[in-house]
A and B are shown apart, each in its own frame.
Chain A
Protein backbone atom coordinates (compact mmCIF):
# COMPACT_ATOMS: atom_id res chain seq x y z
CA UNK A 1 0.00 0.00 0.00
CA UNK A 2 1.31 3.41 -0.78
CA UNK A 3 0.01 6.93 -0.86
CA UNK A 4 0.53 10.32 -2.42
CA UNK A 5 0.37 13.47 -0.32
CA UNK A 6 -1.48 16.13 -2.27
CA UNK A 7 -0.16 19.65 -2.69
CA UNK A 8 -1.46 23.11 -1.90
CA UNK A 9 -5.20 23.55 -2.27
CA UNK A 10 -6.57 26.12 -4.65
CA UNK A 11 -8.98 28.80 -3.52
CA UNK A 12 -12.47 27.53 -3.01
CA UNK A 13 -14.62 27.10 -0.01
CA UNK A 14 -17.83 27.88 -1.83
CA UNK A 15 -20.69 27.56 0.60
CA UNK A 16 -23.35 25.18 -0.54
CA UNK A 17 -26.91 25.24 0.73
CA UNK A 18 -27.47 22.37 3.05
CA UNK A 19 -30.92 20.89 2.54
CA UNK A 20 -32.73 18.85 5.05
CA UNK A 21 -35.34 16.47 3.72
CA UNK A 22 -37.76 15.39 6.39
CA UNK A 23 -40.55 13.04 5.49
CA UNK A 24 -43.12 13.35 8.23
CA UNK A 25 -45.45 10.46 8.91
CA UNK A 26 -48.45 10.74 6.65
CA UNK A 27 -48.52 13.02 3.66
CA UNK A 28 -45.29 14.62 2.46
CA UNK A 29 -45.53 18.40 2.61
CA UNK A 30 -44.62 20.51 -0.44
CA UNK A 31 -42.34 22.46 1.85
CA UNK A 32 -40.45 19.32 2.81
CA UNK A 33 -37.17 20.60 1.41
CA UNK A 34 -35.87 23.62 3.18
CA UNK A 35 -32.51 25.23 3.55
CA UNK A 36 -31.19 24.79 7.05
CA UNK A 37 -27.85 26.45 6.79
CA UNK A 38 -24.94 26.96 4.46
CA UNK A 39 -21.98 24.69 4.62
CA UNK A 40 -18.73 24.30 2.79
CA UNK A 41 -16.80 21.08 2.52
CA UNK A 42 -13.69 23.02 3.52
CA UNK A 43 -15.31 23.79 6.89
CA UNK A 44 -16.83 20.38 7.32
CA UNK A 45 -13.47 18.67 6.99
CA UNK A 46 -11.34 21.58 8.23
CA UNK A 47 -9.27 21.19 5.08
CA UNK A 48 -7.77 24.68 5.31
CA UNK A 49 -6.33 24.10 8.77
CA UNK A 50 -2.51 24.11 8.84
CA UNK A 51 -2.39 20.65 10.41
CA UNK A 52 -4.68 19.00 7.84
CA UNK A 53 -3.46 17.29 4.65
CA UNK A 54 -5.11 15.43 1.78
CA UNK A 55 -3.61 12.11 0.83
CA UNK A 56 -4.49 9.76 -2.02
CA UNK A 57 -4.40 6.10 -1.03
CA UNK A 58 -3.25 3.25 -3.20
CA UNK A 59 -3.76 -0.39 -2.26
CA UNK A 60 -6.55 -2.52 -0.89
CA UNK A 61 -5.47 -3.33 2.66
CA UNK A 62 -8.03 -1.03 4.29
CA UNK A 63 -11.12 -1.97 2.30
CA UNK A 64 -12.87 -3.27 5.39
CA UNK A 65 -12.73 0.25 6.79
CA UNK A 66 -14.29 1.60 3.59
CA UNK A 67 -11.03 2.99 2.25
CA UNK A 68 -10.35 1.81 -1.29
CA UNK A 69 -7.50 2.34 -3.70
CA UNK A 70 -7.76 5.78 -5.27
CA UNK A 71 -9.70 7.27 -2.35
CA UNK A 72 -8.66 10.53 -0.76
CA UNK A 73 -8.18 10.63 2.98
CA UNK A 74 -8.16 13.72 5.15
CA UNK A 75 -5.32 13.49 7.66
CA UNK A 76 -4.82 15.43 10.88
CA UNK A 77 -1.21 15.79 11.97
CA UNK A 78 -1.96 17.62 15.20
CA UNK A 79 -3.43 14.77 17.25
CA UNK A 80 -1.73 11.92 19.05
CA UNK A 81 -2.62 8.62 17.43
CA UNK A 82 -4.62 6.42 19.76
CA UNK A 83 -5.61 2.79 19.81
CA UNK A 84 -8.16 2.23 17.06
CA UNK A 85 -7.19 5.21 14.91
CA UNK A 86 -6.41 4.72 11.25
CA UNK A 87 -2.97 6.18 10.77
CA UNK A 88 -0.67 7.25 7.98
CA UNK A 89 2.77 6.11 9.01
CA UNK A 90 6.23 5.03 7.97
CA UNK A 91 7.31 1.59 9.18
CA UNK A 92 11.05 1.25 8.64
CA UNK A 93 10.71 4.02 6.07
CA UNK A 94 7.93 2.21 4.21
CA UNK A 95 4.76 4.30 3.83
CA UNK A 96 1.63 2.61 5.16
CA UNK A 97 -1.99 3.30 6.04
CA UNK A 98 -3.24 0.95 8.76
CA UNK A 99 -5.34 0.80 11.87
CA UNK A 100 -3.28 1.26 15.01
CA UNK A 101 -3.58 -1.27 17.78
CA UNK A 102 -1.84 0.01 20.87
CA UNK A 103 -2.28 -1.73 24.21
CA UNK A 104 0.32 -1.51 27.00
CA UNK A 105 3.58 -2.27 25.21
CA UNK A 106 2.00 -4.03 22.27
CA UNK A 107 1.84 -2.08 19.01
CA UNK A 108 0.27 -3.76 16.00
CA UNK A 109 -0.63 -2.35 12.60
CA UNK A 110 -3.85 -3.96 11.47
CA UNK A 111 -5.14 -4.18 7.93
CA UNK A 112 -8.84 -4.32 7.20
CA UNK A 113 -8.62 -7.01 4.57
CA UNK A 114 -8.28 -10.74 5.29
CA UNK A 115 -5.59 -10.92 2.59
CA UNK A 116 -3.20 -9.00 4.83
CA UNK A 117 -1.94 -10.26 8.20
CA UNK A 118 -1.49 -8.05 11.24
CA UNK A 119 1.95 -6.50 11.43
CA UNK A 120 3.43 -6.54 14.90
CA UNK A 121 5.84 -3.70 15.53
CA UNK A 122 8.93 -5.20 17.16
CA UNK A 123 11.97 -3.89 19.06
CA UNK A 124 14.07 -3.38 15.95
CA UNK A 125 11.33 -1.70 13.93
CA UNK A 126 11.06 2.04 13.54
CA UNK A 127 7.51 3.33 13.40
CA UNK A 128 6.81 6.98 12.67
CA UNK A 129 3.17 8.04 12.85
CA UNK A 130 2.64 10.81 10.31
CA UNK A 131 -1.00 11.60 11.02
CA UNK A 132 -4.46 10.28 11.81
CA UNK A 133 -7.07 9.69 9.13
CA UNK A 134 -10.23 11.61 9.95
CA UNK A 135 -12.37 11.30 6.80
CA UNK A 136 -12.17 9.68 3.41
CA UNK A 137 -13.58 10.64 0.05
CA UNK A 138 -14.75 8.15 -2.56
CA UNK A 139 -15.73 8.45 -6.20
CA UNK A 140 -18.82 6.30 -6.63
CA UNK A 141 -19.20 6.71 -10.37
CA UNK A 142 -19.44 3.56 -12.48
CA UNK A 143 -16.12 3.07 -14.28
Chain B
Protein backbone atom coordinates (compact mmCIF):
# COMPACT_ATOMS: atom_id res chain seq x y z
CA UNK B 1 0.00 0.00 0.00
CA UNK B 2 1.34 3.42 -0.94
CA UNK B 3 2.54 5.48 2.01
CA UNK B 4 0.37 8.62 2.30
CA UNK B 5 2.10 11.86 1.25
CA UNK B 6 3.26 14.03 4.09
CA UNK B 7 1.10 17.12 4.49
CA UNK B 8 2.42 20.41 5.84
CA UNK B 9 0.45 23.30 7.19
CA UNK B 10 1.45 26.82 8.06
CA UNK B 11 -0.17 28.49 11.00
CA UNK B 12 0.15 32.22 11.45
CA UNK B 13 -1.71 34.06 14.20
CA UNK B 14 -3.42 37.25 13.09
CA UNK B 15 -1.94 40.48 14.52
CA UNK B 16 -0.49 38.37 17.30
CA UNK B 17 0.49 40.94 19.94
CA UNK B 18 -2.69 42.92 19.39
CA UNK B 19 -4.78 39.75 19.55
CA UNK B 20 -3.11 38.75 22.82
CA UNK B 21 -3.99 42.09 24.39
CA UNK B 22 -7.59 41.74 23.26
CA UNK B 23 -8.04 38.36 24.99
CA UNK B 24 -7.92 40.17 28.32
CA UNK B 25 -9.81 43.25 27.15
CA UNK B 26 -13.12 42.06 25.73
CA UNK B 27 -14.24 45.69 25.99
CA UNK B 28 -11.82 46.47 23.15
CA UNK B 29 -12.98 43.68 20.82
CA UNK B 30 -14.35 46.25 18.40
CA UNK B 31 -11.86 49.05 19.07
CA UNK B 32 -8.78 49.39 16.86
CA UNK B 33 -5.61 48.80 18.87
CA UNK B 34 -1.87 48.95 18.33
CA UNK B 35 1.05 47.61 20.32
CA UNK B 36 4.21 49.67 20.78
CA UNK B 37 7.85 48.60 20.93
CA UNK B 38 10.10 49.00 23.99
CA UNK B 39 9.82 52.46 25.53
CA UNK B 40 6.72 52.98 23.41
CA UNK B 41 8.95 53.77 20.45
CA UNK B 42 7.06 52.60 17.41
CA UNK B 43 4.14 50.48 16.31
CA UNK B 44 4.96 46.77 16.20
CA UNK B 45 1.45 45.33 15.91
CA UNK B 46 -1.88 46.55 14.61
CA UNK B 47 -5.28 44.96 14.94
CA UNK B 48 -7.02 44.42 11.61
CA UNK B 49 -9.24 47.47 12.15
CA UNK B 50 -6.25 49.67 13.08
CA UNK B 51 -4.46 49.04 9.78
CA UNK B 52 -6.20 51.82 7.83
CA UNK B 53 -5.09 54.34 10.46
CA UNK B 54 -1.45 53.53 11.04
CA UNK B 55 1.56 52.07 9.22
CA UNK B 56 3.64 49.29 10.71
CA UNK B 57 6.71 50.76 12.40
CA UNK B 58 5.28 54.27 12.69
CA UNK B 59 7.00 56.21 15.51
CA UNK B 60 4.51 56.65 18.32
CA UNK B 61 5.32 60.29 19.13
CA UNK B 62 4.46 61.20 15.53
CA UNK B 63 1.09 59.50 15.42
CA UNK B 64 -0.03 59.82 19.05
CA UNK B 65 -2.60 62.56 18.38
CA UNK B 66 -3.78 60.89 15.18
CA UNK B 67 -4.46 57.69 17.12
CA UNK B 68 -6.29 59.52 19.86
CA UNK B 69 -8.47 61.41 17.38
CA UNK B 70 -9.43 58.16 15.68
CA UNK B 71 -10.11 56.22 18.86
CA UNK B 72 -7.20 53.83 18.41
CA UNK B 73 -5.91 52.50 21.74
CA UNK B 74 -2.16 51.96 22.13
CA UNK B 75 -0.63 49.29 24.36
CA UNK B 76 2.93 49.10 25.64
CA UNK B 77 4.41 45.75 24.73
CA UNK B 78 4.17 42.93 27.22
CA UNK B 79 6.47 40.19 26.02
CA UNK B 80 5.82 37.99 29.04
CA UNK B 81 2.18 37.92 27.99
CA UNK B 82 2.91 37.17 24.33
CA UNK B 83 5.36 34.42 25.29
CA UNK B 84 2.78 32.83 27.59
CA UNK B 85 0.02 33.00 24.98
CA UNK B 86 2.32 31.67 22.27
CA UNK B 87 3.16 28.69 24.45
CA UNK B 88 -0.52 28.00 25.00
CA UNK B 89 -1.22 28.13 21.27
CA UNK B 90 1.71 25.87 20.39
CA UNK B 91 0.81 23.37 23.13
CA UNK B 92 -2.68 23.03 21.73
CA UNK B 93 -1.44 22.57 18.16
CA UNK B 94 1.22 20.09 19.31
CA UNK B 95 -1.47 17.96 20.91
CA UNK B 96 -3.16 17.58 17.52
CA UNK B 97 -0.32 16.90 15.05
CA UNK B 98 2.55 14.39 14.76
CA UNK B 99 5.26 17.06 14.46
CA UNK B 100 5.48 20.79 14.92
CA UNK B 101 8.12 23.37 14.13
CA UNK B 102 7.73 26.69 15.89
CA UNK B 103 9.66 29.35 14.04
CA UNK B 104 8.27 32.56 15.43
CA UNK B 105 6.31 33.60 18.49
CA UNK B 106 3.21 33.62 16.31
CA UNK B 107 3.97 31.12 13.55
CA UNK B 108 4.39 27.35 13.37
CA UNK B 109 4.45 24.60 10.83
CA UNK B 110 2.76 21.34 11.76
CA UNK B 111 3.25 18.30 9.58
B84 with A5: CB separation less than 8 A: no
Q: For the complex, what is the distance from the CA of A8 to the CA of B80, rounded to whole Å?
A: 7
B24 with A5: CB separation less than 8 A: yes
- Asked if A128 lies at the interface with its beta carbon under 8 angstroms from chain B, I say yes
Q: Size of chain A's interface in residues, with CB distance under 8 A?
A: 11
77-111 of chain B: CB within 8 A of chain A: 80-81, 83-84, 87-89, 91-92
Question: Which residues of chain B have C-beta atoms less than 8 A from A50's C-beta?
Answer: 87-89, 91-92
Whole-angstrom distance from the CB of B91 to the nearest CB of chain A?
4
Q: For the complex, what is the distance from the CA of A111 to the CA of B100, rounded to whole Å?
A: 44
Whole-angstrom distance from the CB of A98 to the nearest CB of chain B?
15
1-57 of chain B: CB within 8 A of chain A: 24, 26-27, 29
A130 with B26: CB separation less than 8 A: yes
Q: Which residue from A7, A8, A51, A93 sits with its C-beta under 8 Å from B26? A: A93
Q: For the complex, what is the distance from the CA of A44 to the CA of B29, rounded to whole Å?
A: 33
Question: Which residues of chain A have C-beta atoms less than 8 A from B92's C-beta?
Answer: 50-51
Question: Which residues of chain A have C-beta atoms less than 8 A from B83's C-beta?
Answer: 8
Nearest chain A residue, comparing its CB with the CB of B84: A8
Question: Which residues of chain B have C-beta atoms less than 8 A from A94's C-beta?
Answer: 27
- Asked if A137 lies at the interface with its beta carbon under 8 angstroms from chain B, I say no
- Asked if A90 lies at the interface with its beta carbon under 8 angstroms from chain B, I say yes
A7 with B89: CB separation less than 8 A: no
List, sorted by A's number, 25 A–B pairs whose CB atoms are closer than 8 Å: A5-B24, A7-B80, A7-B81, A7-B84, A8-B80, A8-B81, A8-B83, A8-B84, A8-B87, A50-B87, A50-B88, A50-B89, A50-B91, A50-B92, A51-B88, A51-B92, A90-B26, A90-B27, A93-B26, A93-B27, A94-B27, A95-B26, A128-B26, A128-B29, A130-B26
19 new A-B pairs (CB below 8 Å) besides A50-B89, A90-B26? A5-B24, A7-B81, A7-B84, A8-B80, A8-B81, A8-B84, A8-B87, A50-B87, A50-B88, A50-B91, A51-B88, A51-B92, A90-B27, A93-B27, A94-B27, A95-B26, A128-B26, A128-B29, A130-B26
